Structure 1
Amino acid sequence: MRQNIFLTLSIAVPLMFTSPVLAGNPAHIQRLLTTNECMRCDLSNEDLRYAHLIGADLRDANLSGSALIEANLEGADMTGANLEGSNLTGAMVTNASLNDSNLDNVNFTRAMIYDADVTGASMNNLDLTSAQIFDTGIGIGGQDPAFD
């Protein structure tokens, strides 16, 4: 009997102290995957790794905390999107619009970022380890002395 109580408590107690992971809206995920359009959608904390989102309309979407690992975002319009804390490791971000988006704390490790428009984007604490960046307004290094 004691073993049963101990076993029950060892399973139940940890569950009492966990909080549910807040994820985006399942209907929004379905809409994105079906139509390649999801303006103002809640896609936060979603697993979108390997997604083919070529030319996707993600304007003003909430993608914060999402896994976009090795996703293809070629030509995607993410103007005004919130990507804070997202993981874009190995993602293809070519000819994409990230105007006025929140890119704070985004992991761009090994990402290929070519000809992306980041005008007005917030870009604090980016991880650009081994990223390939061409013709995009993202720089690696310290503060430009011309702006002191």
Structure 2
Amino acid sequence: MDANKLLNLYASGEREFDRANLHQVNLCDADLRGANFAEADLSGANLTQANLSGCNLSRANLTDADLSGANLKGANLSEVNLIGADLISVNLEETNLSRADLRSANLGLANLFGANLSEAEMSGANLKQANLSKANLTGTNINEAELNDADLTEVIITEQEINEGMLHVGISHKWITWAGSY
């Protein structure tokens, strides 16, 4: 499906685009609030500045997609594939990213306030200057993730994860370091 067809269907009231093939589609600045893209292929898509708040993107493929500056507030991105995606300055406030694959994704300056990242795979992700306040990080793999200047105030992790040395929350509660990396 091309961008024009999708935008025309959306304008006419259609919201169901689950399993759609939208590989490399250009939806820059598109307003697609509340649409269902579950299991859709959006790999390589240009979604910069798009409004995807409240969308269902569960199990969608967004590998190498560009979502810079997009609004995904309150969206469902559970089990989504965001490997290598560009999410600079994206709004993921209160978004469900449980079991999401964010390996090597660029989330610099992203707003993840109150996001559910439980059991997400975030190894090698760039979270520099990201807001992770009140985010749920239980069971999340953030091994080798870049967390410089990230705000980790009141992040939710288990006592066991702290006790096992998986995460060390800095005194300022603004960043996390790993054992041996101070």
TM-score by length of 1: 0.74
Structure 1 counterpart of 2:60: 81
Aligned in 2, Cα 1:59/1:97: closer, same or farther, shift over 3 Å?
Answer: same
Aligned in 2, Cα 1:33/1:99: closer, same or farther, shift over 3 Å?
Answer: farther
Structure 1 counterpart of 2:5: 30
Question: What is the SS of the residue equivalent to 2:112?
Answer: strand
Aligned in 2, Cα 1:51/1:29: closer, same or farther, shift over 3 Å?
Answer: same
Structure 2 counterpart of 1:22: none
Equivalences, count: 123
Bigger share in helix = 1
1:91-102 equivalence runs, <5 A = 91-102=70-81
Say which of 112, 117, 121 aligns to 2:100.
121
Counterparts of 2:21 and 2:4 in 1: how far apart (Å)? 8
Counterparts of 1:31 and 1:49 in 2: how far apart (Å)? 13
Write out per-residue CA displacement over residues 79-113 of structure 1, whole angstroms, 9 at most, x where no aligned residue. Answer: 11000000001000100001111011110111111
CA contact (8 A) 1:71 1:90 kept: yes
Structure 1 counterpart of 2:43: 64
TM-score by length of 2: 0.61
Structure 2 counterpart of 1:11: none
The one-letter code matched in structure 2 to 1:72 is N
Aligned in 2, Cα 1:31/1:69: closer, same or farther, shift over 3 Å?
Answer: closer
Q: Considering only CA atoms, is the larger Rg found in Structure 1 or Structure 2?
A: 1
Structure 2 counterpart of 1:146: 166
The runs of 5 or more residues in structure 1 that have no matched partner are 1-24
CA contact (8 A) 1:31 1:37 kept: no
Counterparts of 1:120 and 1:29 in 2: how far apart (Å)? 32
The runs of 5 or more residues in structure 2 that have no matched partner are 129-141, 144-160, 168-178
Sequence identity of aligned pairs in percent? 26
Write out per-residue CA displacement over residues 25-67 of structure 1, whole angstroms, 9 at most, x where no aligned residue. Answer: 33x8624641132110000101000111100100100000000
Q: Which runs of 4+ in 1 moved over 6 A?
A: none
The one-letter code matched in structure 2 to 1:30 is K
Question: What is the SS of the residue equivalent to 1:92?
Answer: coil
